[in-house]
Amino acid sequence: MSFEIARSGINAVNASLETISNNIANSGTYGFKSSRSNFSSMVADSHPTGVEVGSISQSIETGGGLFNTGRGMDAMIQGRGFFAVKGNDGQTLFTRVGLFNVDKEGYVVDSLGRKAQGYAAVLDANGRPVQGAGLGAFGDLRVATGTIPAQPSDRLSFNGNLSADWTVPAVATFDKDDPRSFNSSVTSVVYDSLGTKHSVTQYFVKTGTGTLNAYYSFDGAAPAGPGATMNFDAQGQLTAVPAVTLNATPGNGAAPIAMQIDYTGTTQFAGDTTTRTNESNGYAAGTLTGTSLSEDGSLIATFSNGEKQTVGTIALATFANEGALKAVSDTSWTSTPDSGVALYARPGAGTAAKLSAGALEQSNVDVTGELVSLMSAQRNYQANTKLISTENEMMQALMQAV
């Protein structure tokens, strides 16, 4: 019996050595989680029969170190959660390795070509992503490749300080070509439905105390008349924001432009004339030049026209008992009945953690601790082999005595 007990000890030590060696071998593997062999005694009819590796536990809850890569499509999970990826066989696996890319078909894939799972963007009637509209359908995360269409400008925001020190112009009749007939001007860039740039110049003319008119010139054309009247109170604030719509017809075949001009926040204080905001909401057509992930999982596409759009959101999966996940190859796990089903959410929502963009999670293996465990396993192995050697000597002595 002693031989069998010692043999079970050697087998258990060998099994634990496999776990230790696997941990050490993967100390440089991104997203790897170390394991530990748990010994348990064997008993038959109240008599001890040896030892075995009763279970192997994973340290999934222990995070690895952060490794900055500076790469836009790399992401590290800061706490709980797993990236969900789907292989060509249709099986969904879960991984902590956020090493993603966009393939030639526009799918977001990991380093092994598995498709990342997430939420599509909500699209408007023209197929454009609606920014801030929430999450779309869940499935393979994909970026539309090619050219995004131009968006015509339909809103121009301007605010600044129109100096109270202005005097009524010496030339009473406004003429855009005569600077003596207006007090100040500012030019904005707008876009038509074809993506062509146009200029809108605003001319400000003081007409009396706390009152001025605004004239609008589209692509240098002469204004037909005052487009807006602004009145300011004794504290330099607008008494009411004028409702202004600039209508213009481009000469290149584009659709007519109907653009609202918003003067919210414009003031009239003494001192310099300043411009704080001068921007329109349109843009020219553009082609996809790059993608990146943000800490809330947003997939941001960058285009050649300088526009950035959120075109999807990567999902994180959490489990009621993540320690019961089954480890498979390629630093991945599958769900089990004990782990529970995957609960999906965007990073930072519910129990899912936020992401660290431009970073990867390192292995959580403590090499020093594994080397200590290795030395302990060596002593256990030697003790069991010594027991077998001693048992053998005793048996030989007994046989000689007989």
Q: Are 79 and 138 members of one domain?
A: yes
pLDDT 10s digits, 299-341? 999 999 888 889 999 999 999 999 999 999 899 999 999 999 9
For residue 328, give Cα distances in angstroms to 32, 92, 322, 331, 335: 11, 12, 14, 7, 11
State the residue range of the domain holding 323.
66-148+287-361
Phi, psi of 310 (to 5 degrees): -85, 110
Q: Are 86 and 165 members of one domain?
A: no
Question: What pLDDT is stored for residue 175 in this prediction?
Answer: 93
Q: Are 162 and 239 members of one domain?
A: yes
Return the CATH number at 256: 2.60.98.20
d(CA 65, CA 363): 7
Q: Are 176 and 276 members of one domain?
A: yes
- The answer to whether residues 80 and 87 touch, using CB atoms and an 8 Å cutoff, is no
Q: Are 226 and 174 members of one domain?
A: yes
Domain boundary among 247, 280, 313: 280
Q: Are 380 and 354 members of one domain?
A: no
Q: Are 356 and 367 members of one domain?
A: no
Question: What pLDDT is stored for residue 140 in this prediction?
Answer: 95
The CA angle 36-41-43, to the nearest 5 degrees, is 155
Q: Which two tokens stand for residue 230?
A: 């602004």
pLDDT 10s digits, 245-297? 999 999 889 999 999 999 999 999 999 999 999 999 989 999 999 999 999 99
Percent of the chain scoring above 70 in pLDDT: 98
For residue 95, give Cα distances in angstroms to 111, 226, 364: 11, 63, 14
pLDDT 10s digits, 143-185? 987 788 888 999 999 999 999 999 999 999 999 999 999 999 9
Q: What is the mean pLDDT of the chain?
A: 91
Q: Are 167 and 236 members of one domain?
A: yes
Q: Are 302 and 312 members of one domain?
A: yes
| Mean pLDDT, range 88-100, rounded to an integer | 95
Question: What pLDDT is stored for residue 106 in this prediction?
Answer: 92
pLDDT greater at residue 162 or residue 388: 162
pLDDT 10s digits, 106-117? 999 999 999 999
Q: How many domains does the chain have?
A: 3
Domain boundary among 237, 264, 280: 280
Lowest mean pLDDT among 21-30, 34-43, 120-129, 199-208: 120-129
Question: What pLDDT is stored for residue 347 in this prediction?
Answer: 95
Q: Are 102 and 204 members of one domain?
A: no
Class of residue 366 by CB neighbours under 10 A (exposed 0-12, middle 13-18, buried 19+):
middle
pLDDT greater at residue 344 or residue 48: 344
Percent of the chain scoring above 90 in pLDDT: 70
Q: Are 70 and 123 members of one domain?
A: yes
pLDDT 10s digits, 39-72? 888 888 877 888 888 888 899 989 999 999 999 9
Question: What pLDDT is stored for residue 402 in this prediction?
Answer: 63
Quickly state the pLDDT bin for 126 (edges 50, 70, 90): low
The CA angle 107-111-116, to the nearest 5 degrees, is 40
Residue 195 pLDDT greater than 70, yes or no: yes
Domain boundary among 280, 296, 315: 280
- The answer to whether residues 95 and 288 touch, using CB atoms and an 8 Å cutoff, is no
d(CA 212, CA 238): 11
Name 142's Cβ contacts closer than 8 Å, sequence gap at least 6.
Answer: 105, 106, 107, 108, 120, 312
| Mean pLDDT, range 74-101, rounded to an integer | 95
Q: Are 176 and 144 members of one domain?
A: no
Put simply, whether the predicted model's pTM sits higher than 0.85 gets the answer: no
Residue 1 pLDDT greater than 70, yes or no: no
